[in-house]
Structures are given as C-alpha cells and as structure tokens.
Structure 1
Amino acid sequence: MGKYTREDILRLIREEDIQFIRMQFTDIFGQLKNVAITASQIGRALDGEIMMDGSSIEGFVRVEESDQYLRPDLDTFAVLPWRPQYGKVARLICDVYNPDGTSFVGDPRGVLKRALRQAEDMGFTFNAGPELEFFLFQTDEDGRPTTRTSDEAGYFDLGPLDHGESTRREICLCLEEMGFEIEASHHEVAAGQHEIDFKYTGALRSADNIMTFKLAVKTLAQKNGLHATFMPKPVANAAGSGMHVNMSLFRDGENAFYDPADPRQLSPLAYQFIAGLLDHVPGFCALTNPLVNSYKRLVPGYEAPCCVAWSTGNRSALIRIPTPRGRGTRVELRSPDPSCNPYLTFAACLTAGLDGIRRGLTPPPEITENLYEMSPAALAAQGVPLLPNSLEAALNALEADGTVTAALGPHVAAQYLTGKRREWEEYRSQVSQWELEKYLVTY
C-alpha cells in the first residue's frame, strides 16, 4: 500500500497552505526538470493531465511529437522545507507518458522501472544506498562560483576548521524534514569537500532521493552564499568527489547475498552478481562516470578506483564488500561519481549483476594488495584490467555492450551516445591553459 492517497495529498495541500507544486522529472543526462503549477491545478496534476513539451528536453522527442504528460508518483509528495512557510511549495516526482497513455521509452525513471521488473521476475528486490560527496566553494562579488574555499579542514574534522559545517548541518535537518534517514555526515579529504550518507532503500526511491539531495544541497548552499558542486574533479591535485553505491538483492525478505557457511559469508548469488558487475563495468562506465571531467578523478593517487578488481576489505578495489553481514551484506561499487544520472546508473548496475546471475559467472580471484601501489606490469601479471581512461573510451565500450544498451533501450542508448559524443568533440577542440603554459613559449 502506498504512503499517500489522492485524498491525503489534497488534504495536505489545504492544511499546509501549499500554493505551488513542482512536477519534477529527470532528463537522460541527469538534469532535474520541473513544471510548476498552482494549488488550483492539483486535481489535474493528480489525474496525469499536466502536459509538457518533450522536444525542449535534450534526448526526449522531436518537435513533431512533442506533447507529453507528467504522471506523479503520489508517494514522492513532499513539502520543500527551504521555501516560504506561508504559501508553501511542494513537489511530486513524475513519470513521463505519451499522449496514447503508454510510458515514454526515454524517461530515465522508466528505464530503472524496467530493470526492476526483471529483478522481480527473478524473485528479487534491489536495494541501493549511495554515498555522495560534494564541494562547497565561495562565490565572487557578483555571486558567481569560484573554486576558492577558506576551509582548512581534512577528513572528519569539525569547526572551526570546517567552515561548511553549518551548511552541512542545515542540509541534513532539511532532508530529515523530507523523510530522509541521515546515517552520517562529515568533512571529506579535500578542503571544502563534504559527504552526507542516507539510509539505503529500494533502488527507485533511492534514485529519487539522490535527485532531491542534489537539489537541497545546491539550494541551501546558495542561500548561505556558497556554491555547491557535484563536479567529480573541480580542483587539480586534490581528491575528487565520488558516489559509492552499496547494492543488495533480497528474496523472500532475506538478504540473498548472505551465506554464513561461506568463508567470506557471501552466497553464490553474491559472487555471480560481483562477476556480472566486473564483466560489464567498462560498458556502463559512461553512465556511472558521464563527464569528460569524470576521468580526471579516476587516476592513481587520489583513492579513486582505476582497476577492475574486487576485494572484501581492500578500499583500493573497484568493488568492495563492507564488513557487515546478515541483512547488511552488500556490494559496494566505488567508481560512480555524483554527476551521473542515478536512474540509468542503478538500471545498468542491476542489469549487469543479474546477467552475472543468469550466466552463472565466477569472479576473478580477490585482490588483497593495495592496487594504488601496484605497477602496470604487476597489474598485467595478475590479469587486472583498467577502467576506461576517457569519456571517449567509455562511450565506445558502452556502444559495444549489448546487455547495457538493451537495458537503456534503443532510444536512450542512441540519444545518450549522441549527446555525450558531442560533448567529447567539444572538449577535444578546446585549448586549455595547461597547453598554453606548456607549449606557447617553447614552440
């Protein structure tokens, strides 16, 4: 049974003096969009009658087929706590539908729903718990973002060194008002870098939560005169921001990854899921790490994974199995960054893991050594491949992976590849400051 009924929402809008409702959805590149309506239109909204022009959204539809409808997920209704207390603003996260009543194939939320149905057909529910990192930077006199921070804090430090502590606390409290269960928040390794972790849940709700989290962080930072960014590597020679994803499959209410009889207390399904992730990670890297900038994080020396390997306790591995067992048994994928579209990322990870289960794959031997300190020759000797080292390489791997592109569907796969290749070509044609300083005088 759902959290809210239509009548609940109508009552809450009256009782809470809600004047505006944001009908939110996400494009294929992970950008949050919305159509704002007044409370007088809530009946039409709940009936799925709010239209929008899909041709204006990159990767959606052509001009000649532009009419689309937003159907709200009633359980996502929430008041935005940072908006005015009089004439409040609420939001509903929506699915995108065609005029004929069919689900739009280019809706990222729909892509994840299709993947979850495959898991359900195999008897599984899929849970995901993200760990998002971000930077808080100062703005200039015109309010434009900089990469400056007066922050001198390091890992787990607190005020007065942590100048972003009050903003981080405000973010946590606002998110709890919206129903989040915040498990931890702390300063990260780099100056101005922060992490807030919230409790795992079903993958669809978790992806919704990530989109809400990003909006809250950016909005509250701006309110406090700061700029929040989820750019993976905004500062050279400093740690980048990741979005580690913890995943688990449940079957009949029990964690399907747990087996107390195994030396690592992992079930055969867990090993197969790990093997599926390792097999397809090059193919979905363009989804988990979608920017040119993403690959400046995935380099040696900054605690980001570069090698396709797994381990139970080794944090240098791409896939790590955290200590908790029993219901807490999970697989942690450490490569994704917070610029990704969470719906497509979760769909790809789930599809890869399920493919490993269907095919009965076995993962390669566990790597217990520090991968950050292993030479290329040592990695090659152990047969440890590397992640794609550029967006171009990742896009080529995505196009070649039929399992991942099938999970996206022909429309999303084609539009994603086209848009991201355009981004790569735009980057390739730029002349950077580094090039000028390196070559202008010498040559």
Structure 2
Amino acid sequence: MGHLHDDVIRTVSDRDVRFIRLWFCDIAGTLKSIAISPADLENAFAEGIGIDGSTIEGLTRSYESDMLLRPDPATFELLAWRGDTNATGRMMCDVLTPDGEPAASDPRRVLKDTLARAEEKGLEFSTHPEIEFYLFEEPYEPSQPLRPIDHAGYFDHVHRGQGQDFRRAAIQHLEAMNIQVEYSHHENGPGQNEIDLRYADALTTADNIVTLRTVVKEVALSMNQVATFMPKPMIDQPGSGMHTHLSLFQGGKNAFHEPGAEYGLSRLGRQFIAGLLRHAPEYVAVTNQWVNSYKRLWGAQEAPSYICWGHNNRSALVRVPFHKPTKGTSSRVEFRGLDSSANPYLAFAVLLSAGLAGIEGEYELPEGAEDAVWDLTERERRAMGIEPLPTDLFRALEGFEGSELMASTLGEQVFEFFLRDKRQEWERYREQVTLYELRSTFSRV
C-alpha cells in the first residue's frame, strides 16, 4: 500500500477512531454511506468493500448487483460533529466492478474521465462554488407553510440571529475537515444563507460540496432547524442556486487570461464560453435536474432564463466577472445556472465537456448582452440571437436525449438511467392535482 494508506491507518490508531464511513453518491447525487471498523481498513484499500449496488439508484443494471467501494485515502477526514471521543472518520470512495474496474455508473468516475480528457490537452479544471440554501424551523410538515428561521435579507447582520450561529458552527466543522470557506452571509430570502468555498480542482470541489451539504443538514438538525438545498422551496421568494466560477489552467497559468484583451479574456476562454452557450439546451437537464429547478430558473429573481453571456449582467447564464488587470489568475467564468442540489460530479463533467467542445470546435462567441435580458421584449431577444433555456424538465430532457455530447460524456449507462429516471419524475409530477389548480379552477367550473 502507498504512504497515504499508511497515513490513514496511523491516524485512525492515534486518534482512537472507532468507525470509518465510506461515502459515495448515486446518479442523482444523493449521499450513500456504509461504516467499517479500523480492522477492515487494509482490506478496503487493497481489495475494496463489497456492496449490493442493485439497491442504489442507477449504480448497476439488474443483473450486475455486486459492486466494490474503494476509499480514496486523500479524502480521509474526521467527522467534526461526531466529536473527538470514539471519533468517526470518512473517506470518499470510487465504485468498482467485482473485477476491480471503475464502474461505468459511478458519478465520480464520470468526472474523473472528463478531467482526464482535459489533462490530455494540458488543461486543469478548477471551480469555486457559491452554495445557497434555506433554513426553516422544525418540525417540517409538507402540508403546512414553511417557517423560515428569520426574515432578514441580503448581507443583513442579524443581531443574535440563528443564521449567524448556524454559519459559524457549520464553517467550524467544514474547516476542521480541511474544507476552506471563503465567504458566508445571509442571502436575499428569509432564512436563506450562502457559503462560498475556495477555489480547488473540480474533483476536490465536488467532494467538498457533497460534504458541505451533509454538514449543513447535520448542524441544522442539532439546532432544531431543517436545511434544504431545494431550488425553489417558496413561490414568492428567491430560489437557491450554486453560481460557480470556472477556470482552466495550462502549465500553471490561467488559460482564460490574456493581458490587454477585452475583460482580460483569452481566445480559449471565449471558445469555452461559446461551448457553454451552444450546448446549454443539452446539459441543463443535468445542471438543473429536478421538476422544481425550472421554478427557480423562470422565477425572475436573478436566475438565468436565457442563453447569453455578459459582464455586468446578472440575468445572464454565463458572466465574466471583473478582474484585476495586474492579477492574471483572476480571469474566470461564472456559470449562474447551477442548482445547489445538482449532482456536482455530473454537473462539473458536463460543463467542462461543453467548454472543451467549444475549444476543440473553435466556436465563435456571440455578442454579449449587457442589458437585463428579462427587460427585453421577445422580439428584441430574437434579434440579438438570445434563446430561452428550457422552461420545464420535459423540454430539458428533449435536448438531453438528442445530445451525442451528453451520451459520450456520461457514458451509456448513466445517460440511459438518467433519462429514464427523470422521465419518470416528470410523469409523476404531471399526474398531480395541485393546490393552485384547486384554488383557481374548482369553484369556476
């Protein structure tokens, strides 16, 4: 075994760790976990731990139930909320077939493969997410109105506010797990908060997002609150997105930066954005995978509804933020479409793949849109060549289904399961009779 394996085994012994949780995700991005004892660690590293993959959404075909979990020793951390006595560790895992090959259905494998494609071109992909979520008072009852923990707004300082206490506790746990937080603050909605993670390579960031969502939910429960990353939990309040800054580095230098260019953006950076725009109708089902996602995208509250880019335009799907001319590493692209509830492994894979397609195909970047796209008329948008994003999951799946880029990026098994699973979600939603329909129609007909 390598030195990282030895370091984990030594730490487990020195810190009196009693359990090690092996974490992995299904295709929807839901965290799965099994616990092993320290005695099983060496075998986990050498051979993997067997699981029944047929019980986990999308991980296997019906006739391929046996799978292995192989922990990644570089991700070992102690779960801060479990305390130091009888401590619990965790590692992110790769899912393998019984013969030790990477499982085609593992979302982490999908991202690793896409990153490897970029690395063949000498490119390294880094991301910096701004993760929004809501905190509500317990108990949560779906049939009752949601009760936000406060009624504050954007950047508000709430004296003795529960949100401040929450963010402090959550950030302490994250940093104890070596996840570096850049900012945190109250967001626009009542009880809505945001935690921004520092730049890291995309695989580390995806692992960190999965961990952050777990930490947020654990801390909320400990404070008699409930946290949700649902895209649009309240009809009259802002949705929760995950605006993510994307960067490519080549030979240690920012490949998006070109001194003296408009916005400091290189030709490669412009091609990358063009790829994000052209392929948006194909990948939006992945970056916005829920029926509820489209309530956020078409909610008219700083969420992007149209396929365009800009500089100071916060209604754009892609924004090129201000950069310091003296700081070449600050050139980046902000993708504003992502939900906080997306599967980060698949989402980063499809965004990188779309950007690489723009680079490989030398796509031309259309004119930017600096006006608030929401305020334009449909005729004005058409004249500018600005197309709408899909308005619902059904239309998003139509674009996804016909996409060779998505099929090749995700692989046949993930592509087919995702399409089938999301069609079922849409069909279940379509069958519902909602409270709105009863209120608007029952007494009129």
TM (norm. structure 2) is 0.96
SS at match of 2:150: coil
Partner of 1:159: 158
Partner of 1:387: 389
Deviation at 1:116, TM superposition (A): 0.5
Deviation at 1:219, TM superposition (A): 0.7
Please tell me whether the aligned partners of residues 131 and 195 of structure 1 are also in contact (alpha carbons under 8 angstroms).
yes
Q: Distance in 2 between matches of 1:48 and 1:175?
A: 30
Partner of 1:372: 374
Please tell me whether the aligned partners of residues 232 and 242 of structure 1 are also in contact (alpha carbons under 8 angstroms).
yes
The correspondence for 2:342, drawn from 324, 340, 343, is 340
Question: Please, which moves more after superposition, 338-347 or 378-387?
Answer: 378-387
CA deviation vs aligned residue, 1:389-412 (integer Å, no higher than 9, x gap): 000110110111111221000100
CA deviation vs aligned residue, 1:237-283 (integer Å, no higher than 9, x gap): 11000011111110000000000131321110000000000011111
Q: Distance in 2 between matches of 1:227 and 1:156?
A: 21
CA separation of 1:263/1:61 partners in 2, compared to 1, >3 Å: closer, same or farther? closer
Query: 2:91 aligned with 1:92, yes or no?
Result: yes
Deviation at 1:100, TM superposition (A): 1.2
CA separation of 1:158/1:58 partners in 2, compared to 1, >3 Å: closer, same or farther? same
Please tell me whether the aligned partners of residues 131 and 245 of structure 1 are also in contact (alpha carbons under 8 angstroms).
yes
CA deviation vs aligned residue, 1:121-159 (integer Å, no higher than 9, x gap): 111011111111000000129999962024121000122
Q: 1:183-222 to 2 correspondence within 5 Å? A: 183-222=182-221
CA deviation vs aligned residue, 1:32-64 (integer Å, no higher than 9, x gap): 101111222112122233110011111121343
Partner of 2:283: 284
SS at match of 1:308: strand
Please tell me whether the aligned partners of residues 126 and 248 of structure 2 are also in contact (alpha carbons under 8 angstroms).
yes
Question: Please, which moves more after superposition, 73-82 or 322-331?
Answer: 322-331
Name stretches of at least 5 consecutive residues in structure 1 with no aligned partner: none
**Code of the aligned partner of 2:372:** N
**Code of the aligned partner of 1:88:** A
Q: 1:260-271 to 2 correspondence within 5 Å? A: 260-271=259-270
CA deviation vs aligned residue, 1:298-341 (integer Å, no higher than 9, x gap): 11521100110001222121100111251121111101101110
Question: Please, which moves more after superposition, 212-221 or 140-149?
Answer: 140-149
CA separation of 1:340/1:142 partners in 2, compared to 1, >3 Å: closer, same or farther? closer
Please tell me whether the aligned partners of residues 317 and 335 of structure 2 are also in contact (alpha carbons under 8 angstroms).
yes
Query: Which stretches of structure 1, 4 residues or more, deviate above 3 A after TM superposition?
Result: 141-146
Percent sequence identity is: 43
Deviation at 1:161, TM superposition (A): 7.3
Query: 2:316 aligned with 1:317, yes or no?
Result: yes
Please tell me whether the aligned partners of residues 280 and 404 of structure 1 are also in contact (alpha carbons under 8 angstroms).
no
Partner of 2:420: 418
Deviation at 1:160, TM superposition (A): 2.4
Partner of 1:55: 54
SS at match of 1:309: strand
Please tell me whether the aligned partners of residues 186 and 193 of structure 2 are also in contact (alpha carbons under 8 angstroms).
yes
SS at match of 1:196: strand
CA separation of 1:323/1:141 partners in 2, compared to 1, >3 Å: closer, same or farther? closer
Partner of 1:120: 119
Question: Please, which moves more after superposition, 422-431 or 297-306?
Answer: 297-306
Partner of 2:258: 259
Partner of 2:68: 69
Name stretches of at least 5 consecutive residues in structure 2 with no aligned partner: none
CA separation of 1:230/1:124 partners in 2, compared to 1, >3 Å: closer, same or farther? same
Query: 2:332 aligned with 1:330, yes or no?
Result: yes
SS at match of 2:94: strand
Partner of 2:357: 355
SS at match of 1:164: helix
Q: Distance in 2 between matches of 1:30 and 1:10?
A: 28
Partner of 1:27: 26
Deviation at 1:368, TM superposition (A): 1.0
CA separation of 1:3/1:219 partners in 2, compared to 1, >3 Å: closer, same or farther? farther
**Code of the aligned partner of 1:384:** I
SS at match of 1:378: helix
CA deviation vs aligned residue, 1:193-232 (integer Å, no higher than 9, x gap): 0000010110111100100000000011011100000000
Please tell me whether the aligned partners of residues 297 and 304 of structure 1 are also in contact (alpha carbons under 8 angstroms).
yes
Partner of 1:231: 230
SS at match of 1:340: coil
CA deviation vs aligned residue, 1:58-115 (integer Å, no higher than 9, x gap): 1121343211111111110000000132111110100000111211000000000110
Please tell me whether the aligned partners of residues 276 and 356 of structure 1 are also in contact (alpha carbons under 8 angstroms).
yes
Partner of 1:106: 105
SS at match of 1:197: strand
Please tell me whether the aligned partners of residues 3 and 75 of structure 1 are also in contact (alpha carbons under 8 angstroms).
no
- The CA RMSD over aligned residues, in Å, is 1.7
Q: Distance in 2 between matches of 1:355 and 1:233?
A: 31
Partner of 1:250: 249
Q: Distance in 2 between matches of 1:3 and 1:385?
A: 51
Deviation at 1:376, TM superposition (A): 1.8
Partner of 2:41: 42
CA separation of 1:403/1:141 partners in 2, compared to 1, >3 Å: closer, same or farther? closer
SS at match of 2:385: coil
Deviation at 1:4, TM superposition (A): 6.4
SS at match of 1:5: helix
Aligned length: 442
**Code of the aligned partner of 1:261:** G
**Code of the aligned partner of 1:185:** S
SS at match of 1:34: strand
Q: Distance in 1 between matches of 2:430 and 2:115?
A: 37
Q: Distance in 2 between matches of 1:213 and 1:144?
A: 28
CA separation of 1:261/1:143 partners in 2, compared to 1, >3 Å: closer, same or farther? closer
